[in-house]
Amino acid sequence: MISQAKLQKLAKEHGTPLFIIDHDELRKNYRMFRKYLPRVQVYFAVKANSDPAIVRTLYKEGASFDVASMPEFKIVYENIKGMPAKQRQDWIWDKIIYANPNKPTETLEELDQYKPLVTFDNLEEIHKIKKHAPHAGLVIRIKVPNTGAMVELSSKFGCHPGEAVDLILEADRLGLTVEGISFHVGSQTTNFDNYVQALQLTANIYEEAKKRGYTKMNLVDIGGGFPAPYDDTVKPFRELAKVINSELERLFPKEIQILAEPGRFLVATAGYAVSKIIGKAVRDGKTSYYINDGVYHTYSGVIFDHCKYPIRSFKKAATTLCAVYGPTCDALDVVSMAENLPDLQRGDFVYSTNIGAYSHASATYFNGFPPAKVVQVNE
């Protein structure tokens, strides 16, 4: 954890808006995941925060990677490009999954040289992969319950479980190998039963595939959704891990490889945002502060991720209910309409914690304002 004094020092040194990444926290979160889910190979979901320094730190920790575009693939590739060719190819096969079920043909053609592991969830994608990336290994993604997730994903991705074996057999008929099954229970999932149901559905598909003569699968990808501790309502990770470990033990023999794609869980608590007050007004009787960061920038997760990031002051004083707006000319640029803050002045710093995931990753240059400067600490 970075102290308030350190945050203020960095803001004075580098200016604001500032986005700070604590690499000690990244390592702590990765090691916690490995501790409580020892059977699971950790594939960091690069989309959560694709900063190359984050990828490098997790690479050094031994992480694998879930990528969903060629630019993300290349960020990871930078860490292995110096390996001998065979070692590099083996590393890609073992440590990268391209977990976007729908891929442009140009992407498949570029990926094919690496003999990648890729996901799919429909018949059209099978034929596309056969034509443009015939050396790929396949993982079928199924639709599972996303009940209670902060971000629902099942409406866009995943085949119906009842269709899965038919799709597996069609891929096999075309000479492709389906290595296993993947799912995603929804981002920031606090409903542990989603994992229980998804694992049971996966086991059922394994059994049906075996009965219908397909025995080439050897992995289960349990996706992401592992919740970050944004507040006290989020149960400890070890409790979710206990549920998952129990179901894995019950449903899948040891020779089945288990993958997971945590993104938010690894990076959320490693991120800090520091900005400053650039304006102040009273609107409809409520004090309103304007800061030099907003929903088009580090606070983009307010819009895209349905997430709240409390604005905190470095001053200790009595507070009142305030509104906080971003710097752009768009009325959508509202960070919060209900923050308890003391009386602040132009130039005062404010900050947010737990803002490392789906924040700076989706920042824009809207209205001519650039994204916050990134500072790495404890690398």
| Residues known to be catalytic | 329
DSSP codes, 42-55: EEEEGGG---HHHH
Tell me the two tokens of residue 308. 């709240």
Q: In degrees rounded to 5, what are phi and psi of residue 300?
A: -60, -25
Task: Answer for the pair 296, 364: CB distance below 8 angstroms, yes or no.
Answer: yes
How many alpha carbons lie under 13 Å from residue 71 in its C-beta half-sphere?
A: 6
Q: Using a CB cutoff of 8 Å and minimum separation of 24, what contacts does 242-251 make?
A: 242/36, 243/192, 243/195, 243/196, 244/37, 244/40, 244/195, 244/199, 245/36, 245/37, 245/39, 247/195, 247/196, 247/199, 247/200, 248/39, 248/199, 251/199, 251/200, 251/202, 251/203
- Torsion-angle region of residue 117: left (phi > 0), alpha (psi -120 to 50) or beta? beta
Q: Enter the DSSP assignment of 336.
A: E
How distant, in Å, are the alpha carbons of 155, 273, 291, 338, 359 from that of 21?
A: 32, 9, 20, 26, 12
Q: Enter the DSSP assignment of 331.
A: T
End-to-end C-alpha distance for the chain, whole angstroms: 14
Tell me if residue 286 falls in helix, strand or coil.
strand
Tell me the two tokens of residue 305. 């991720």
DSSP codes, 103-149: --HHHHHHHGGG--EEEE-SHHHHHHHHHH-TT-EEEEEB----TT-
